[in-house]
Structure 1
């Protein structure tokens, strides 16, 4: 009746950053424990500082990511603008070529004195001067327009290049920042798990820690026990780690993921030690009981009333566990041996699992 964890999903969403907060689980069967040693307090303070660093880095990462997306959109806009400007410049250069050729064919290259000598009469001279003037004006206008377009193109190309370089720098910074966040979270999670393992080995937990509870906006009476999970071992499945059959549903999540009460109820058991490691059992108004096992920490005490979706602990891999996950059971009594399949039980209460 012991659970295993088969698959650990990648979980980049940083809601589980709360995993790194130091935890002091409740004593076995609800008996209050001591305050913990000075070494434990030091580890807790270190974990808390790591959490604060990770939270700040997360804010910077999200802000930088949004800025990078804006820069990418601006670079795409500038590239489209440059494409249109290049086309317009090509048309202008073609117009200049046509004007130059037309001017050459019409004698636009002759001086004013030559035009005066070669003109057959005053009318022809005036007509030539008029055509020559108009042609020169057209050439001057075309040259000016072309030069202005070339200047705009050069400026916009420089701007686009600068935006692209800035985007590349930002992406590099974000990659380093993201790696730092992941390293800090991983280190802090395993520090938290180390405290849990020490508690299980001693068979006595140190008391609930009152962490800030994640805001959960529920519109119904029931909720999933964790978010961002991957289902692993299912109810009734066989395995070498269980005496008979698996008695619950395993939700693979990283260490420290907030574990929530699936419904309103009362805490009837908080224990530390044994195959389930750190565990919580809730009693619900309809007579059923739910169990949350292999935790790294708890945030409630025995006999405490809880609400749907309330944060009651943090997932871990304490006890007889092969990796981080939540072992979730539904029982008709608070004790082992009375489990029912939790997936259809949750589904019947409007909480699809999958």
Structure 2
């Protein structure tokens, strides 16, 4: 009898255990704040590669500018050297003319013999003095030109060597730049793949705490991305929108750091739906800004943000035609209260 009473209790315990095991995967899939470990790795990698690519590009461009300066200097020195050589040729011809003039006026005879034979010895002496003076001037000019030629040749050689060294270094920088860009492109699409999975499941993986840039903005308002191409504007029509486009699109590659345009508080971080992964920030004066179609977020709901702070990374989630940032300015957190972002930012000193 005792064993028969244990069976219902044992069955109940087993059923509870199975229920807990069955519920755990669903519970795990809904966890958001701390479970973005893989996402964090790729997002951080993309952000670091983005910075590395920017530095490599800057070094590459500076190197080629310096190489152009050195190449121009080498060519200028080469031109000066050619001019010095031409002047030496002219001076040598002048010296030859002086020698021939001396020969025609009896330069092969001793000066004493020429004075005895001359009709006017005084004029002969004056002419002899002038010839010797001209001869000395030409000799000095040739020596000076030769020294200048040696100096210019050395400068030209140094400039040419510096130019060649720079071109070699720039070739190495170009190779490094290309390698970083390839790694960045691969990481971008890995990040986008994770973002697509999150958006399709409607699950936010939590903030990717990116290493923030040094914020040195003197203005209260900035553009949401640093480098961009403006695409669809506010109020434009299109097949992808039920009525009119509600914001301003910035065409940027996947993983581009997205900045808070001004100081405020994050009031929404959501995933899924037409906007994909999105953030809404509340600003003073009763305005809200939205950053949509992201690949990752770098803030959590309730966080305070500063102008220029990275709040996420651009992507291609949701109802999107390609990698870009969809940016809105609203008078309420919800869709349908938008104002044109371009004049709104312009009124705050940010001209797109």
Alpha-carbon separation, structure 2, partners of 1:42 and 1:209: 8
Structure 1 residue 281: Cα displacement: 0.9
Contact 2:81 2:153 (8 Å CA) reproduced? no
* 1:191-231 CA-partner distances (Å, limit 9, x unpaired): 33233223223321221122122234333433322222221
- 1:267-306 matches, cutoff 5 A: 267-306=266-305
Partners of 1:340 and 1:267 in 2: how far apart?
A: 19
**Structure 1 residues 152, 336: closer, same or farther in 2, change over 3 A?**
closer
Task: Provide closer, same or farther for how the CA distance between residues 331 and 133 of structure 1 changes in structure 2, counting only shifts above 3 A.
Answer: closer
Deviation at 1:232, TM superposition (A): 0.8
| Structure 2 counterpart of 1:250 | 249
When structure 1 is superposed on structure 2, of 85-94 and 222-231 the one drifting more is 85-94
Give secondary structure in 1 for the equivalent of 2:116: coil
Whose helix proportion is higher, 1 or 2?
Answer: 2
Q: Are positions 1:206 and 2:205 aligned together?
A: yes
Report the structure number with the largest CA radius of gyration: 2
Structure 2 distance, partners of 1:28, 1:60, is 44
Q: How many residues align?
A: 322
> Structure 1, residues 53-74: CA drift from partner, whole Å, max 9, x if none?
6477457536634643552453
Q: Deviations over 1:124-180 (max 9, x none)?
A: 499487677656645644554454444445444544543443454344444434433
CA drift at 1:347: 2.8
- 1:274 CA drift (Å): 1.8
Paired position in structure 1 for 2:18: none
Equivalent in 116, 122, 136 of residue 120 of structure 1: 116
Q: 1:92–1:150: structure 2 CA closer, same or farther, 3 Å change rule?
A: farther
Residue equivalent to 1:197: 196
Q: Which residue of 2 aligns with 1:318?
A: 317
Question: Are 1:162 and 2:161 counterparts?
Answer: yes
For structure 2, list consecutive stretches of 5 or more residues without a partner in the other structure.
1-27
Q: For residues 153 and 253 of structure 1, what CA distance do their matches in structure 2 show?
A: 50
Verify: 1:183 aligned to 2:182, yes or no. yes
Partner Cα separation in structure 2 for residue 199 and residue 285 of structure 1: 31
Shift of 1:275: 1.6
Q: CA RMSD in A?
A: 3.8
2:35 alignment counterpart = 34
Deviation at 1:279, TM superposition (A): 0.3
Q: Which residue of 1 aligns with 2:336?
A: 337
Give me the whole-angstrom Cα distance separating, in 2, the residues matched to 1:218 and 1:56.
20
- Rounded to whole Å, the distance in 1 between the matches of 2:48 and 2:306 is 30
Q: Measured at CA, do residues 73 and 212 of structure 1 come closer, stay the same or move farther in structure 2, by a change above 3 Å?
A: farther
Q: Give runs of aligned pairs for residues 29-68 of structure 1, distance below 5 A.
A: 31-36=32-37, 43=42, 50=49, 54=53, 57=56, 60-61=59-60, 64-65=63-64, 67-68=66-67
SS at match of 2:181: helix
Task: Decide whether aligned partners of structure 1 residues 234 and 157 sit closer, same or farther in structure 2, where only a CA change above 3 A counts.
Answer: closer
Measured at CA, do residues 282 and 119 of structure 1 come closer, stay the same or move farther in structure 2, by a change above 3 Å?
closer
Distance of 1:198 and 1:308 partners within structure 2: 30
**Counterparts in 2 of 1:63 and 1:338: CA distance versus 1, 3 Å:** closer
d(CA) in 2 for partners of 1:77, 1:256:
45
Residues 284-336 of structure 1 deviation map (CA, whole Å, 9 limit, x = unaligned) = 23222221101111111001122233221111112221222110112232222
Q: Give the drift of 1:246.
A: 1.2
Q: Paired residue for 1:12?
A: none
Secondary structure at the counterpart of residue 102 of structure 1 = helix
Question: RCO greater where, 1 or 2, for CA within 8 Å and sep 6 or more?
Answer: 1
CA–CA distance in structure 2, aligned partners of residues 289 and 28 of structure 1: 30
